[in-house]
Structure 1
Amino acid sequence: MKTKKLGDLEVGAQGLGCAGLTGFYGRPFDGEAATAAVTAALDSGVTFFDTSDSYGHATEFGFGCNEEFLGKALKGRRHEAVIGTKFGFLPSAGGIQNGAHLSERGVSAATVRADPAYIRSACEASLKRLGVDYIDLYFAHRLSPEVPVEETIGAMAGLIEEGKVGHIGLCGVSAHLLERAAAVHPIAALESEWSLWTRDIEHEVLAVARRHNIGVVTYAPLGRGFLTGQLKTFEDLPPDDLRRTFPRFQGDNFRKNLELVDHIHALANKKGCTAAQLALAWLDAKGPDVVPIPGGERPEFVLDNVGALAVDLSDEEIAAMDDVFPLGVASGARYANMSNVSDAVDIGKLETTRQ
């Protein structure tokens, strides 16, 4: 597999988003299939594995279970993997496993911590769950409304000096906060949602990232599965599927967004690839500093996604896709409560916190 750069950290051109491996969207956990997916990724040349201390499952597992699973799945092959994990959401807030931060709660001191003392304890806990001596790339999953970003980055930089962390990153922050963070310490990566139907990062943030040599890890590159064309109706989502709470998957929004997917299918058929591969190839073409991390709960999904790296798009084809999917084309908001997104918090409390 070709490689790309996140700052000065070299990784495979496509990573694996691990949240779904332990049932993120509410699907039952299949440990055998999930382990096989990690193995398939490694065998295909995938090196970057993205997890978080807050990824889990609503009914079966608790806070930190995704890290525990990944650590076991990588046992014996740690040297082949670049592990990215995160801190920020508090266990008492339910983390991400029950979707509370996505649909019900905004970012607040009650749900998020990013102060030095907590960062240190969270890092130690992640190291233990992963069963590793160091974390290759450590992200602030969300910033606290109570703590200046400079203080958070300073604490993360301290972990690098101690050898517990190799590189640091941020998730979903605004251009302004990214500038402030980069002034304190080099930031290797920004993890942000970026796909054909979510192109907000291109408006301002991407230019700041590139000015500071910050790579972009793109989560939900397949629109949380919507852009694959596998979903035809709202009822295709299991009753407890978290995506049922997302506005883009509801009512008229679902129908209108499905029309966009028809365009992907048409273009993919002409190209001789799957819709998922086309959507991922579009992101891959965005630059040597862009690393998509599609999920893949089963090995066949991983192999299909990796196949996107063999799809070469011409400038004309990329331009055609850009025209069909301009900024803001998707119907409906990304989340029911947008105050959980760091960018939204910037507009509110974070810009008025202590300097």
Structure 2
Amino acid sequence: MMTRRLGSNGPEVGALGLGCMSFGGMYGPTDKAESFATLKKALDLGVSHLDTAIIYGAGLSEALIGEFIRDNANSFTIASKCGIVPQPTRHFSNKRAYIREALEGSLKRLGVDHIPLYYLHRRDHEVPVEDAIGFMAELVAEGKIGGIGLSEISPATLERASTVHPIMAVQNEYSLWTRLPDLGLVQACARLGTAFVAFSPVGRGVFADQAPDPSAMADDDFRKTNPRFMGDNYVRNNARIERFRAYARDHGWNTSALAVAWTLAQGDHIIPIPGTRSPGHLEELAQAVDIRLGASELAEIETLLPVGFAHGTRYTDAQLVGTELYC
């Protein structure tokens, strides 16, 4: 697999990463055997960057990865995240004591003494970002983390953070139907030597060969209350995306791989991390690195799914809490 670099001075990883949120049961009960099979498939495919977080299954995703890598040492470049505190009530913390305690927990669950990339999952506005990055820089100096990441932030926050310490990666949602990062963040990352890690490049499953059926989703499925998957919004969105599915079929590509290939084509510093715990699905997604989209194909896709085409916001007001909006 071709590689891309996590930041201007960071490690090289496979151009396609793997989001491990579903390992923690975020989309239904997790299956250890299937999760392990997916990690094994990742090794076979050259998918070398894993993305997890404390909040994914209350540490379960980290623990599963840690158990797998005991027999596969140095096989992956792992990223994890702290900053979302679910108990006693959900809130965000970027305080020094919390960050250090959270990291120690991540290290223990992963069974390692060093994590190559550690993110603040959400910004805590009670702590100046310069102070928060200063706390993280202490962990870099101690050798406990290799680099600092930020998630769901604005270009202005990245600019401020970068005055304290280089930021290895910014992780925000980015796909054919979520294009906000095009309005400054993708460009700021390129300018500052920061990798842009794109989560949900398959639109939480909407860019699949078969349209997801919201009525069949579990009651606790995130998408059940997501505006783009509800009612008339979903009917209109799916009708438009069906043209994209047909375009993919006509070219001999699977739809999810084409959606990821579009993301890869938006910049050499972009690393998409689609999430799955299915080995077969990961193999389909990995086909994205073999799809080379030129100017004509990108223009055709833009005609099918023009910027701003989606009906409904990407999050409800409640789901937006903690994300930074900048336009």
**TM class, shorter-chain normalised?**
over 0.9
List aligned pairs for 1:1-355, cutoff 5 A.
Answer: 1-7=1-7, 8-9=9-10, 10-25=12-27, 27-56=28-57, 63-92=58-87, 111-337=91-317, 338-344=319-325
What SS does structure 1 have at the residue aligned with 2:84? coil
Question: Is this contact kept in 2: 1:200–1:327, CA < 8 A?
Answer: no
Question: Is this contact kept in 1: 2:244–2:304, CA < 8 A?
Answer: no
Deviation of 1:143 after TM superposition, in Å, equals 0.8
What SS does structure 2 have at the residue aligned with 1:288? coil
Q: TM-score scaled to structure 2, two decimals?
A: 0.95
Deviation of 1:241 after TM superposition, in Å, equals 1.8
Deviation of 1:229 after TM superposition, in Å, equals 4.0
Gaps of 5+ in 1: 57-62, 95-109, 348-355
Distance 2:153 2:192 in 1: 14
Identity across aligned pairs (percent)? 39
AA of the residue aligned to 1:271: H
What SS does structure 2 have at the residue aligned with 1:78? coil
Q: TM-score scaled to structure 1, two decimals?
A: 0.88
Deviation of 1:36 after TM superposition, in Å, equals 0.2
Deviation of 1:122 after TM superposition, in Å, equals 0.8
Deviation of 1:177 after TM superposition, in Å, equals 0.7
Deviation of 1:321 after TM superposition, in Å, equals 1.3
What SS does structure 2 have at the residue aligned with 1:92? coil
What SS does structure 2 have at the residue aligned with 1:192? strand
Aligned to 1:105: none
Distance 2:199 2:18 in 1: 9
What SS does structure 2 have at the residue aligned with 1:334? coil
Question: Is this contact kept in 2: 1:38–1:74, CA < 8 A?
Answer: no
Gaps of 5+ in 2: none
AA of the residue aligned to 1:5: R
Distance 1:276 1:135 in 2: 29
AA of the residue aligned to 1:73: F
Question: Is this contact kept in 1: 2:150–2:171, CA < 8 A?
Answer: yes
AA of the residue aligned to 1:342: T
Question: Is this contact kept in 2: 1:51–1:66, CA < 8 A?
Answer: yes
Q: After superposition, what is the alpha-carbon deviation per residue over 1:115-160, rounded to whole angstroms, capped at 9, x for unaligned?
A: 1111111111110111111000000000112111001100111100
Superposition RMSD in Å: 1.5
